[in-house]
Structure 1
Amino acid sequence: MTRRIPLGSPLQLLLLACSFALAGYAGVRLLAGDWLGVALWFVGAALIHDLVLLPLYASADRAVVRGLSATGRREWAMYVRVPAALSGLLLLVWFPLISGRMESRYELAAGLSTDGFPARWLLITAVLFGGSALLLVLRLRRAAKDRSPETH
């Protein structure tokens, strides 16, 4: 019995090869200038994620799941997880501008002010959680409608 190696379609393989080529090109360009600084940044980012951020958001997720389990609504956890993850990712990416730490550098480079970043991040976070709550309400309504007997 011969085992066939599971490969994707030719289009998938072509896209994968192109993405590897693009990543290789970006890596060569990135490492051409300050390769030691880039390597230290990657190592530092991995360590901070694994030693600081992962325990923080795992503990927060555990607290949310326990709190919802106590009320018998554990399945609602995804309606908190998704907006929290997206909001956290936006905070992580834009933290230097949200915190105001890079205000002068950003203004010199872009010619724009950093004044609106904290308010915009809070607004996006509110919209994410509001949209998630709305989706939960709509799904609960639909489930209640499906459970109720037809009255004709």
Structure 2
Amino acid sequence: MGEFRRAYGAAPWHLLLLLGCFAVTGWIALRLAGEPTAGRMLLWFVGAAVAHDLVLFPAYAAVDRALRAGWGRGGSPSVLNHLRVPALGAGLLLLVYLPGILGLGDGTYASATGMAPRARVGQWLAVSAALFAASALVYVVRRLSRRAR
């Protein structure tokens, strides 16, 4: 076992998991090969990867660095994590549901649901606020339980 780990660089379960991921990816690629919209899907996927790597990652890395610098050395990393997690959830919801949040997609939404689209900014803000409130509650409970010990 040690020789395999030394030669491969990781445990055997890592190789099995990686092979499983490649198998699932291959199966999806075969399923999409006959799709007439496969080219558009690939374009959106590549565009999303490029947009993430060139725009989003530098933006949220800069915000995180500014938060850490502003927090100072005396601040707890736990507090930052309780801000990062709900911010990530709110950001992902915004990215996934942006057309619905802004009330866009007239024809697509109406043909899929039979209802007229409307902006859902208030709902997104409410869910985001709930995420931050839940995170703050978890933080307070953790602090109180530590203080009690």
Question: What TM bracket, shorter-length normalisation?
Answer: 0.7 to 0.9
Name the residue aligned to 2:54: 51
Closer/same/farther in 2, CA of residues 142 and 50 from structure 1, 3 Å limit: same
The DSSP-based 3-state class of the residue aligned with 2:37 is helix
Contact (CA 8 Å) 2:86, 2:135: kept in 1 or not? yes
| CA-CA distance at 1:111 after TM superposition | 1.9
CA RMSD of the aligned region, Å?
2.8
Name the residue aligned to 2:4: 4
Aligned residue among 12, 23, 26 for 1:24:
26
Q: How high is the sequence identity, in percent, across the aligned residues?
A: 39
Structure 1: state its 5+ residue gaps: 147-152
Contact (CA 8 Å) 2:103, 2:119: kept in 1 or not? no
| CA-CA distance at 1:105 after TM superposition | 1.6
Count of aligned pairs between the two proteins: 142
Closer/same/farther in 2, CA of residues 130 and 3 from structure 1, 3 Å limit: same
The normalised TM-score by structure 1 is 0.77
The DSSP-based 3-state class of the residue aligned with 2:12 is coil
- After the TM superposition, which residues 2-151 of structure 1 pair with which residues of structure 2 at under 5 Å, given as runs? 3-5=3-5, 6-8=11-13, 13=16, 17=20, 20-32=22-34, 33-69=36-72, 72-75=74-77, 76-115=79-118, 117-146=120-149
| Largest Rg, 1 or 2 | 1
For each residue in 1:95-144, what CA deviation from the matched residue of structure 2 results, as whole angstroms up to 9, or x when unmatched? 11112221332121222344363222111111110011111111111222
Closer/same/farther in 2, CA of residues 117 and 20 from structure 1, 3 Å limit: farther
